[in-house]
Chains A and B, each alone.
Chain A
Amino acid sequence: MNARWFSLSRWLGIVGKEFIQLKRDRLTFGMIVGIPVIQLVLFGFAINSDPKHLPTAALIADRSEFSRSILAGLRNSDYFAFIGEAADEQQADRMLAEGKAQFVVSIPADFSQRLVRGERPALLLEADATDPAATGNAIAAVNQLAQTVLAHDLTGPLAALAATPGAFEVRIHPRYNPEAVTQYNIVPGLMGVILTMTMVMMTGLAITRERERGTMENLLATPATALEVMTGKIVPYVVIGLLQITIVLTLAWLLFTVPMQGNLLTLYLAVLLFIAANLTLGLTFSSLAQNQLQAVQMTFFFFLPSILLSGFMFPFRGMPNWAQVVGEVLPLTHFLRIVRGVLLKGNGWSEVFPDAWPIALFMLAVSAVGLRFWRSTLD
Chain B
Amino acid sequence: MNQGVAGSDVVIDVRGLNKHFGSNHAVKDLALTVRRGEIFGFLGPNGSGKTTSIRMLCGLLTPDSGEGTCLGLDIVRDTREIKRQVGYMTQRFSFWEDLTIRENLRFVARMYGLNDSAGRVESALDHLGLKQSADKLAGALSGGWKQRLALAACLLHEPQLLLLDEPTAGVDPKARRDFWDELHALAARGITVLVSTHYMDEAERCHKLGYILDGRLLAQGTAKEIVASQSLVTWAVTGDDLSALADRLRKLSTVEQVAAFGSTLHVTGADAARLDADLAPLKAEQGGHWQRIDPGLEDVFIHLMRAAGAEETTAAAA
Contacts and interface: CB of A to CB of B under 8 A. Distances in A.
B80 A221 contact: no
Interface in A8-46: 9-10, 12-13, 16-17, 20-21, 24-25
B293 to A, nearest CB: 42
Given A10-B110, A214-B94, A221 B61 contact: no
A24 B98 contact: yes
A223 B95 contact: no
A3 to B, nearest CB: 8
A254 interface: no
Interface of A: 4, 7, 9-10, 12-13, 16-17, 20-21, 24-25, 213-215, 217-225, 377-379
A376 to B, nearest CB: 9
A213 B93 CA distance: 9
Contact of B90 (A17, A214, A379): A214
Contact size range, B: 20 to 34
A232 B273 CA distance: 68
Contact of B83 (A12, A16, A215, A221): A221
B83 A377 contact: no
Chief secondary structure at chain B's binding surface: loop
Contacts, number: 70
22 contacts: A10-B111, A13-B110, A13-B111, A17-B96, A20-B98, A21-B99, A24-B98, A213-B94, A214-B93, A214-B94, A215-B96, A217-B60, A217-B94, A218-B94, A218-B95, A221-B60, A222-B112, A224-B111, A377-B79, A378-B55, A378-B60, A379-B61
Contacts of A218: 90, 94-95
Interface in B87-127: 88, 90, 92-99, 103, 106-108, 110-113
B264 interface: no
B84 interface: yes
B59 interface: yes
B252 to A, nearest CB: 46
B90 to A, nearest CB: 5
B110 to A, nearest CB: 4
A377 B111 contact: no
A323 to B, nearest CB: 40
Contacts of A377: 59-62, 79
Given A214-B94, A217-B90, A223-B113, A17 B60 contact: no
B60 A220 contact: yes
Interface in B221-267: none
B203 interface: no
B94 A215 contact: yes
Contact of A25 (B58, B62, B80, B98): B98
A25, A222, A225: which has the most chain B beta carbons within 10 Å? A222
A304 B111 CA distance: 39
Contacts of B110: 9-10, 12-13
A214 B61 CA distance: 15
Contact of B96 (A4, A7, A21, A225): A21
Nearest to A25: B98
Given A13-B106, A20-B98, 16 more contacts: A9-B113, A10-B110, A13-B107, A13-B110, A21-B99, A213-B94, A214-B94, A215-B96, A218-B90, A218-B95, A219-B111, A222-B111, A377-B60, A377-B62, A377-B79, A378-B55
A16 B88 CA distance: 23
B84 A17 contact: no
Given A9-B113, A215-B94, A222 B99 contact: no
Given A10-B113, A20-B103, A379 B96 contact: no
